[in-house]
Amino acid sequence: MPNPILKIKRGSGSPQSLSAGELAIDTLNKSLFVGTADGPLVIGGENVFAKKTYADASVAAEAALRSAADATLTTNLATEVSDRASAVSAAAATAASNLATETAARQAGDATLTTNLASEVTRAQAAEGTLSTNLAGEISRATAAEQALGTRIDNVLSNTTAGSLDSLTEVVSAFQAADSSLNGAITSLASTASTGLQNEVTRATAAESALGVRIDGTVSAASALASRVSAAESDINTLESDLSAEITNRSNAVSSEASTRASADTSLGNRITALETSIDGGTY
């Protein structure tokens, strides 16, 4: 069943009387009246309400404004995309430059560390060579001293030379004197060797500790560089993600606005057409 059509009274010229709240239209002068206790009251017409031609012009003007706004929004969006792309490129270039600078600094530091390490190895090897030479010299001296002492003991025991020791007291005294000298020499030799060895152990330990600290520093610097590179890559990825999201949001907003405007224009035209064709209340 079709919907009922609401019509109002119509005639040519102003109506003479209308019931309170009753509507009438003057088709000659295109005026709208409503009944009141004081008589018909004009409440609208061409000079009050917009005609369809005026509404169409307004709709067209609004559509032109919307089209211009959409064009401006599209231009601004393209500018924003270009600016964001430039910013991302600049950030990437800066990150690459900083990375290259840091890499060069690390390589220079590694080269310096390698040179210092080679120098330390050379010095340690030279010191060890000196220590070996000194130790060999001390062994040679001690061996010669022992041989000389053995010769003296042999001379005391064999007594083959005239004027040699020929009494037990002389032998004992000579032996005790030689023994004391030998003990002193051995003690001195042992003390000197022990002191030299201890000094070398202390020096080598300190050198190894310093070398370990420098190597640890290099490892830590390399780790810090890797962290900085990873952070730079993460920042670039974040910028690219933000730019993509911004482009998507702007595009969705333009599409939504265009759809909303088109729907509103269609609805307004339909309502004006329906209003023109459905209001008819008879004549007066």
What was the pLDDT predicted at 153? 66
What was the pLDDT predicted at 34? 94
What was the pLDDT predicted at 236? 80
Taking the whole predicted model, whether its pTM rises above 0.85 is answered as no
For β-strands 23-26 and 9-11, DSSP reports them as parallel
In angstroms, the Cα distances linking 244 to 60, 84, 124, 257 are 34, 10, 60, 20
- Cβ-based neighbours of 15, under 8 Å, separated by 6 or more: 9, 24, 26, 33, 40, 284
Residues 159 and 21 in one domain: no
> Does residue 171 lie in a domain region?
yes
Note the pLDDT tens digit of each residue in 146-171. 888 777 766 655 555 555 555 556 65
In angstroms, the Cα distances linking 138 to 47, 115, 131, 192 are 130, 34, 10, 10
Residue 158, judged by CB atoms within 10 A of its CB (0-12, 13-18, 19+), counts as exposed
Residues 19 and 76 in one domain: no
Residues 26 and 117 in one domain: no
Q: Three-class SS of residue 11? A: strand
> 181 or 76: whose pLDDT is higher?
76
Question: By the 8 A CB rule, do 62 and 78 touch?
Answer: no
Domain range for 31 = 9-45
Average pLDDT, the chain: 80
Residues 207 and 262 in one domain: yes
212 pLDDT band, cuts 50/70/90, is confident
Tokens representing residue 180 in the block:
């004391």
> Does residue 284 lie in a domain region?
no
Q: Which amino acid is present at 115?
A: T
End-to-end CA distance of the chain: 29
Residues 125 and 213 in one domain: yes
> Does residue 247 lie in a domain region?
yes
What was the pLDDT predicted at 1? 47
> Does residue 272 lie in a domain region?
yes
What was the pLDDT predicted at 4? 62
Residues 94 and 216 in one domain: yes
What was the pLDDT predicted at 26? 92
Q: What is the DSSP secondary structure assignment for residue 164, as one 8-state letter?
A: S
> 277 or 106: whose pLDDT is higher?
106
Note the pLDDT tens digit of each residue in 224-264. 777 887 887 888 888 888 877 888 888 787 778 878 888 87
Task: Tell me how far apart the alpha carbons of residues 132 and 135 are, in angstroms, rounded to a whole number.
Answer: 5
What was the pLDDT predicted at 248? 83
35 pLDDT band, cuts 50/70/90, is very high
> Does residue 202 lie in a domain region?
yes
For β-strands 23-26 and 31-36, DSSP reports them as antiparallel
> Does residue 56 lie in a domain region?
yes
Domain total in the chain: 2
Residues 141 and 58 in one domain: yes
> Does residue 283 lie in a domain region?
no
> Does residue 169 lie in a domain region?
yes
What was the pLDDT predicted at 36? 95
Residues 23 and 68 in one domain: no
